């Protein structure tokens, strides 16, 4: 018997057995029918605390404080979750009696995993505004710390992730997640994905062991990953040591961070130093946070000093630790640091090398000199020191190591880097710091989805001289008063005159090239992504900036280290025109417009990150190319000779995950740094990166057109596979039945929703893949005939996607995703597609049906309207969707509408109505649905939607409906929804207004839910 597409029940039963039999969790049962399910099961919490010999009085007080911290009525889910986590991690401080000393009640026995109560329940029905039933909930000592949504093998794990995200909304079961730590989704095809509360779908992670696992592999990938992630020891380690609340975002560690810190722990225990190399974008800064925190909590007398050699890195490290609530002292001078090192506190510090007496950043000799002076003054450090050297590929010199060893004898030195070590430096670096503690290379990060692939393209800007004779004549005239020696020096100063005279034309071509990309490249054109241009000097940055302004492109800015001063203009005026320094000064003054360079840079960075459509291009020289908080972009244009570390870090500006539709980063090279323009085979591990070992930079860059074609073919194949089960004749009707189901069976249509969403997602990816190379199909290797065939296939799938959206009533739900996609479709695909769904841009099909009656059918795409069954089912699906969406506003009324729709569908299937008459009845039903029956069906006194909804759901009692309406309007306070006290006050007033009409508490709860859903209140 085939197990392909097996039901999730089969998977769930197997997963429950895994937890119970192999991981040693206690099975609590199927809780679908159990009343009072909670994220804090008091009986289980009491049972655990009693097993830890906690007195009853302390248990009562601890439980009271835990429940108080876990409520979300007066605080956000994030704040409540953080408060509960602190109680889990550090314990609950309570007083047995007033005036007595506080004692700490530990909710988790972190030191002895087996002493805790690990349990799970399945089908946990959770009450709420709209109750939900998570598949599996993990309880740690009676507190819900993990949730798992399972899907059958043919349904994407994304559906489980979205289900988790929905469940965390206020309208569903948000309070249930106030203690939640691990939020998971999985199936047998894709395995497990994990995140925590409010983790966006794109940031869910895949667990991956990188050392020999003690957990035996299971038959199914899902089971293996669950066993690795949720075994008792690993789960407690994750919760204790790898959770962080980072400036409003809760984060769990990635696997590379977990195993990097684990490896560093072993080195720390053995008091051995070494190097941690985690590639750019893989979370190195948080790895430092988790390691520092573990050292301070577990190594007696420990102190941590973090050394950097650049001001922005020093600021970033301070910001990272403070952002996650860890106290760190950033020293203001070398003298201050020397003083703090001799005292027991603070235990966590960061310092900049140049603060040791020198003005230039990274001045190690000045650092050494100041250290020696401090030691001569009788300096004596206090404590066991662990020194983190950030970006150790720059500061790995023996002089620094010698100075630190002299300053802090016995200190353990750990170097961190986001770039690989150069071949020439590798042996020396290992000699200085010790061996690699842990590595996570770029190609590993791409495979794990931590960073994006980079597409590389070298572009050649042709230059030529129109008349060398005239140039020589011009030069001779301009220099006729100079001696031969002076003329020679002038030529040497400018390099070659040809470069000077051709540079303006060359820069114009680069500017025009970038402006063309701004109009044709999808993410740039849509304003969802932006670009950085790296140039060789501040003067060139100013010159390019002026060229962009001259071309009418004002959404750009320069960010460099230059700070204009009036002193820059002294002695520069010659009467022969602007010198470089004068032009640079004037351009900057105009751009800053009265702001300081610091304020301008801060404002520009914020706009570039948060409003890419308003600041589309940054022109830089060195700044903003390094550091974890340097802004990311989609395109990086390079017109500067760069090598090794500088190049590696620069191109990693575009590998960040910063949008659902961003699938690659793009690097455009005007300097041909890899000598690839003349090569048929492009090896990006040589050329400008040949200072590295080849394996250390493998997979960093990929040829744009080659990977573009592969991606396009892959998307086409995925869509063909998705549509393969569609039965003959495989026409529009067959496709609509396959993706939308039978309108008379709402459950069937709902069951097919994941398949439809996959169609939309894959089609969107296909359109983006096609748009990336649509203008270069021939260069990508397609013949003209093949290119046309590809275009037709893309158009076919886009048309199919539009029809399915319309027929299933998904169209309006997805409108927020449409603008960028619509541009791509119109630009690259729809040349011969005159019939599109554009008639519905601002109206739903039901709106059109109300406005135009049966004539609205003429607005449908031709492939639908030519088939009467397709027309009928399309309208039925849209009506069903409106009824379902609007039902919470007036359950009684829309239940009646649903019955009428079912009756109409039955009549159509039994062919009891002519087509025209059937369309007319559908139009009439649409009128009733959209206008809630029309005012003629209600007493004249009921003028608002809320009053009519109360009337329909209170037995059509006019006076009672008006009394409840008046009570709500009189009693409700601003912001009453979600506020426990205000809701209680309103509920009491409604109870009084109902009087003898109140049936029971369930009736009152239903009525309150109805009131919450009314826009009038």
Secondary structure in 3-state letters for 20-41: HHHCCCEEEEECCCCCCCCCEC
Tell me: pLDDT of 325 over 90.
Answer: no
Whether residue 39 is predicted with pLDDT greater than 50 in this model: the reply is yes
The pLDDT value given to residue 920: 82
Average confidence (pLDDT) over 984-999? 90
Q: Please state the rounded mean pLDDT for residues 909-934.
A: 73
For 3, 4, 13, 116, 725, the CA distances from 7, given in Å and listed in that order, are 9, 9, 11, 33, 18
Average pLDDT along the chain: 81
Q: Does residue 980 contact residue 986 with C-beta atoms inside 8 Å?
A: no
- The answer to whether the Cα torsion of 739, 741, 743, 748 is positive or negative is negative
Return the structure tokens found at 504.
């303006």
**Lowest-pLDDT range of 435-439, 483-487, 526-530, 584-588:** 483-487
What is the pLDDT, as a whole number, of residue 479? 66
Q: What pLDDT sits at residue 358?
A: 43
Tell which residue, 688, 625, 616, 695, has the closest CA to residue 655: 625
With a cut of 70, say whether residue 140 has pLDDT above it.
Answer: yes
- CA dist list (Å): 372 to 366, 378, 563, 650, 735: 10, 10, 34, 36, 79
Task: At 897, list the tokens.
Answer: 């509408």
Do you know the residue count of the chain?
Answer: 1017
- pLDDT greater than 90 at residue 7: no
Cβ atoms of 403 and 367 closer than 8 Å: yes
Q: What is the CA radius of gyration of the chain?
A: 34
What integer is the mean pLDDT of 542-556?
93
| Res 501: pLDDT | 41
Q: List the beta bridge partners of residue 205.
A: 194
Residue 680's pLDDT band, with cuts at 50, 70 and 90, is very low
Is 84 buried (19+), middle (13-18) or exposed (0-12) by CB count in 10 A?
Answer: buried
Share of the chain above pLDDT 70, in %: 79
- Residues 694-703: what's their mean pLDDT? 66
Predicted pLDDT at 760:
85
In contact, 1007 and 990? CB cutoff 8 Å = yes
Residue 931 predicted with pLDDT over 60: yes
More confident residue, 897 or 968: 968
HEC-encoded secondary structure of 161-180: HHHHHHHCCCCCCHHHHCCC
Question: Which of 36-45, 407-416, 615-624, 838-847 comes out lowest in average pLDDT?
Answer: 838-847
- Read off the pLDDT band of 191 (50, 70, 90): very high
Residue 931: closest CA among 886, 873, 965? 886
Q: What pLDDT does residue 832 have?
A: 37
Mean local confidence (pLDDT), 409-422: 84
User: Is the per-residue pLDDT at 348 higher than 70?
Assistant: yes
- Token output for 516: 């063309």
Considering the entire predicted model, what is its pTM? 0.67
**Strands (DSSP E) found in 289-340:** 302-308, 329-330
pLDDT of residue 817: 39
* Residue range 518-527: mean pLDDT, rounded: 82
pLDDT at 1: 33
Q: Coil, strand, or helix at residue 596?
A: coil
pLDDT 10s digits, 710-728: 889 988 998 998 898 899 8
Return the pLDDT at 471.
Answer: 55
Evaluate if residue 701 carries a pLDDT over 70. no
Chain segment 218-271, per-residue pLDDT in tens: 889 999 999 999 999 999 999 999 999 988 999 999 999 999 999 999 999 999
Strand bridging mode 191-195 / 243-246: unpaired
Q: d(Cα 296, Cα 291) in Å, to the nearest integer?
A: 9
Q: What is the pLDDT of residue 558?
A: 95
Q: 896 pLDDT exceeds 60?
A: yes
Over 60: is that where the pLDDT of 291 sits?
Answer: yes
Top pLDDT among 449 and 6 is at 449
Percent of the chain with pLDDT over 90: 36
456-495 residue pLDDT tens: 888 877 655 555 565 566 566 666 766 667 666 655 555 4
pLDDT greater than 60 at residue 838:
no
Q: Give the pLDDT band of residue 360 (cuts 50, 70, 90).
A: very low
Residue 788 pLDDT > 70, yes or no? yes
CA torsion angle 632 634 635 636 (round to 10): 20
pLDDT digits (tens, 9 = 90+) for 112-136: 999 999 999 999 999 887 889 999 9
**pLDDT (tens digit per residue) in 626-652:** 655 567 888 999 998 887 777 877 888
Least confident of 563-567, 816-820, 882-886: 816-820
In contact, 769 and 719? CB cutoff 8 Å: no
What is the per-residue pLDDT across 152-178, written as a single tens digit (0 to 9) for each? 877 889 889 999 999 999 999 999 999
The residue among 101, 173, 172 whose CA lies nearest residue 144 is 173
Give the dihedral of Cα atoms 964, 965, 970, 971; nearest 10 deg. Answer: 60
What's residue 833's pLDDT?
33
Q: Which of 448, 490, 631, 656 is nearest to 557 (CA)?
A: 631
Looking at residue 636, its pLDDT comes to: 93
Greater confidence, 487 or 980?
A: 980
Pinpoint the alpha helices (H) of 778-831. Answer: 784-808, 818-828
pLDDT band at 819 (very low <50, low <70, confident <90, very high): very low
Is residue 304 very low, low, confident or very high in pLDDT (cuts 50, 70, 90)? Answer: very high
Q: How sure is the predictor about 793, in pLDDT bands with cuts at 50, 70 and 90?
A: very high
Give the pLDDT band of residue 454 (cuts 50, 70, 90). Answer: confident
């Amino acid at each position: 018997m085939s197990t392909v597409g097996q039901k999730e029940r089969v998977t769930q039963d197997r997963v429950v057995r895994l937890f119970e039999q192999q991981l040693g969790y206690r099975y609590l049962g199927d809780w679908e029918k159990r009343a009072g399910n909670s994220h804090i099961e008091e009986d289980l919490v009491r049972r655990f605390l009693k097993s830890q010999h906690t007195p009853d009085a302390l248990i009562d007080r601890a439980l009271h404080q835990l429940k108080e911290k876990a409520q979300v009525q007066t605080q956000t889910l994030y704040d409540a979750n953080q408060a509960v986590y602190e109680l889990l991690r550090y314990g609950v401080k309570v007083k047995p009696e007033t005036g007595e000393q506080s004692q700490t009640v530990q909710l988790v026995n972190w030191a002895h995993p087996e002493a805790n109560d690990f349990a799970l329940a399945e089908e946990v029905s959770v009450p709420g505004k709209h109750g939900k039933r998570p598949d599996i909930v993990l309880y740690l000592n009676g507190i819900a710390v993990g949730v798992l949504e399972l899907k059958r093998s043919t349904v994407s794990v994304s559906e489980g992730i979205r289900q988790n995200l929905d469940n965390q909304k206020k309208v569903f079961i948000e309070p249930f997640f106030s203690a939640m730590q691990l939020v998971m989704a999985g199936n047998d095809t894709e395995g497990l994905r994990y995140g925590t509360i409010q983790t966006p779908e794109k940031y869910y992670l895949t667990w991956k062991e990188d050392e020999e696992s003690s957990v035996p592999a299971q038959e199914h990938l899902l089971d293996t990953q669950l066993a690795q992630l949720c075994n008792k020891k690993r789960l407690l380690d994750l919760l204790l040591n790898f959770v962080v609340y980072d400036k409003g975002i809760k984060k769990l560690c990635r696997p590379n961070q977990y195993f990097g810190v684990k490896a560093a722990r072993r080195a720390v225990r053995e008091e051995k130093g070494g190097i941690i190399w985690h590639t750019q974008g893989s979370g190195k800064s948080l790895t430092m946070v988790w390691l520092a925190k573990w050292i301070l909590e577990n190594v007696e007398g420990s102190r941590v000093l973090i050394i950097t050699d650049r001001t922005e890195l020093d600021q970033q490290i301070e910001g990272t630790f403070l952002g996650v609530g860890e106290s760190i002292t950033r020293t203001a001078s070398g003298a201050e640091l020397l003083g703090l090192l001799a005292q027991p506190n603070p235990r966590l510090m960061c310092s900049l090398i140049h603060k040791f007496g020198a003005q230039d950043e990274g001045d190690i000799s000045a650092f050494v000199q100041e250290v020696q002076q401090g030691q001569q003054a009788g300096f004596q450090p206090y404590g066991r020191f662990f020194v983190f050297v950030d970006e150790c590929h720059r500061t790995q010199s023996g002089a620094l190591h010698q100075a630190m060893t002299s300053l802090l004898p016995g200190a353990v030195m750990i170097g961190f880097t986001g770039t690989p070590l150069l071949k020439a430096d590798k042996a020396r670096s290992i000699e200085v710091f010790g061996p690699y503690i842990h590595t996570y290379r770029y190609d590993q990060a791409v495979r794990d989805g931590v960073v994006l692939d980079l597409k590389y393209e070298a572009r050649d800007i042709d230059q030529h001289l129109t008349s060398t004779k005239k140039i020589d004549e011009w030069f001779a005239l301009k220099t006729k008063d100079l001696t031969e020696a002076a003329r020679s020096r002038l030529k040497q100063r400018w390099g070659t005159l040809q470069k000077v005279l051709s540079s303006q034309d060359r820069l114009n071509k680069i500017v025009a090239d970038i402006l063309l990309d701004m109009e044709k490249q999808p993410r740039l054109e849509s304003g969802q992504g932006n670009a950085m241009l790296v140039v060789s000097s501040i003067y060139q940055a100013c010159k390019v900036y002026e060229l962009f302004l001259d071309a009418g492109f004002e959404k750009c800015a320069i960010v460099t280290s230059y700070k204009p001063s009036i002193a820059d203009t002294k002695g520069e005026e010659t009467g022969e025109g602007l010198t470089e320094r004068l032009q640079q000064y004037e351009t900057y003054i105009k751009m800053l417009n009265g702001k300081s360079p610091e304020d301008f840079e801060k404002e520009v960075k914020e706009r570039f990150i948060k409003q890419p459509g308003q600041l589309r291009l940054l022109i830089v020289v060195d700044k903003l190319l390094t550091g974890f908080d340097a802004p990311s972009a989609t395109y990086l244009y390079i017109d500067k000779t760069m090598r090794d570390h500088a190049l590696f870090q620069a191109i990693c500006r575009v590998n960040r995950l910063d949008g659902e539709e961003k699938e690659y980063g793009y690097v455009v090279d005007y300097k041909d740094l890899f000598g690839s323009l003349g090569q048929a085979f492009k090896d990006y591990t040589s050329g400008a990166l040949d200072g590295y070992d080849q394996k250390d930079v493998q997979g960093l860059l990929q040829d744009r057109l080659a990977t573009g074609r592969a991606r396009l073919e892959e998307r086409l194949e995925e869509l063909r596979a998705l549509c393969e089960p569609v039965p003959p004749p495989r026409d529009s009707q067959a496709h609509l039945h396959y993706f939308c189901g039978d309108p008379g069976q709402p459950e069937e249509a709902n069951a097919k929703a994941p398949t439809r969403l996959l169609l939309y997602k894959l089609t969107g990816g296909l359109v983006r893949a096609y748009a990336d190379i649509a203008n270069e199909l021939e260069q990508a290797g397609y013949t003209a005939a093949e290119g046309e065939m590809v275009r037709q296939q893309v158009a076919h799938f886009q048309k199919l996607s539009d029809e399915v959206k319309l027929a299933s009533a998904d169209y309006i739900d997805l409108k927020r995703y449409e603008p960028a996609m619509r541009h791509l479709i119109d630009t690259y695909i729809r040349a011969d597609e005159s019939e599109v769904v554009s008639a519905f841009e601002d109206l739903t099909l039901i709106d059109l049906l109300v406005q135009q009656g049966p004539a609205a059918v003429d607005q449908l795409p031709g492939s639908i309207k030519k088939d009467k069954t397709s027309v009928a089912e399309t309208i039925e699906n849209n009506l069903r969707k409106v009824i379902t969406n609007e039902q919470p506003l007036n359950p009684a009324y829309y239940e009646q509408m649903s019955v009428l729709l079912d009756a109409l569908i039955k009549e159509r299937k039994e062919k009891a109505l002519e087509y025209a008459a059937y369309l007319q009845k559908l139009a009439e039903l649409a009128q009733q649905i959209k206008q809630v029956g029309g005012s003629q069906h209600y007493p004249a006194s009921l003028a608002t939607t809320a009053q009519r909804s109360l009337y329909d759901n209170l037995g059509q009692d006019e006076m009672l409906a008006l009394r409840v309406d008046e009570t709500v309007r009189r009693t409700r306070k601003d912001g009453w929804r979600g506020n426990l006290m205000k809701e209680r006050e309103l509920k009491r007033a409604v109870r009084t207004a109902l009087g003898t009409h109140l049936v029971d508490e369930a009736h009152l709860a239903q009525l309150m839910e109805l009131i919450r859903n009314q826009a009038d209140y």
